[in-house]
Amino acid sequence: MDRAQLADFLRARRESLQPEDVGLPRGPRRRTAGLRREEVAALSGVSGDYYSRIEQRRGPMPSEQILAALAQGMHLTVQERDHLFQLAGHAVPRRIQRGDHINAGMMRVLDRMQDTPAQVENLLGETLKQTRLAVALLGEETAYTGLERSRAFRWFTNPQVRGMFPDDDHDHHSRNLTAQLAAVYARTGKDSPAGTLVDALRVRSREFAEIWDEHPVVGPYCEPKRIRHPDLGTLELYGQTLLDPDQFQTLIVFTALPGSESYEKLQLLPAVSSMRG
């Protein structure tokens, strides 16, 4: 661990960031060059005192989880994240296996979509970041841990998850999720996280095992999906996607046909989000 270089690198990146770069208001009295330390800490989900100690060349070696959070909060590129890990004395994360670090450009796009339900997912269907309205629409999907981070795992092992979708759509979703996982498995191999997920699901879900053995293939993208919302009822939405091929991630934006009933319901989502607090 190179404390001096680590501190200098973080300070330089913090001072080069502007509030607008990370979705924060500038405010009329800002005098600090770049972001404040407490702003970086809040964006990264760490305490202000802990982050300050790193910049002051004090404190213990940051864990990989802390470094990943700092890289995400500061919108570092993949190359900058790798450099951060090396300065802190850790091995560089493997990129193709999971792809949890969101590309800085993708983060900037997401930061500017706070009036839209949108979220970033990795190749395993694990939600990495959501806008406020995506949480209002789908729930807090970033809170899951372990295998439950994967939407496919939740679908086949947690019956309550299926309540969000009309019963008539369940078979289609089962086949589609299995096909998506099969595509990732073919791309990354049996020793990848996708392989671990497949092995677990074949044991836990007979339905998954039967569909898996049929070798389903992914169908057309951006087809409409019906979602049951507890306050708004059923909405028919399209999931438009922006692909980041380097990170194996997609930004999904949920839209409805203008003038449709679902479009009118979607306009009420901000009010529903505010009521839920």
* pLDDT 10s digits, 25-40: 776 677 766 888 888 8
Whether 127 and 142 have beta carbons less than 8 Å apart is answered as yes
pLDDT bin (cut points 50, 70, 90) of residue 266 is: very high
* Rounded Cα gap, residues 96 and 94, in angstroms: 6
122 contacts 96 by C-beta, under 8 angstroms: no
Q: Helix, strand or coil for residue 75?
A: coil
CA 272 to chain centre: 22
* Amino acid sitting at position 79: Q
Three-state secondary structure call for residue 166: coil
70 within 8 A of 46, measured Cβ to Cβ: yes
Token output for 255? 């839209």
Closest CA to 181 of 145, 208, 144, 148: 208
Given a contact cutoff of 8 angstroms between Cβ atoms, the answer to whether 102 and 249 are in contact is yes
For 112, 137, 182, the CA distances from 272, given in Å and listed in that order, are 20, 9, 36
Per-residue pLDDT tens over the stretch 104-158: 788 888 888 888 999 999 888 999 999 999 999 999 999 999 999 999 999 999 9
Domains and CATH numbers, the chain: 3-87 (1.10.260.40), 104-276 (3.30.450.180)
Give the predicted TM-score (pTM) of the model: 0.67
CA pair distance 166, 68, nearest whole angstrom: 37
Q: Which band of pLDDT confidence, cut at 50, 70 and 90, is reported for residue 96?
A: very low
- The per-residue pLDDT of the chain, averaged, comes to 85
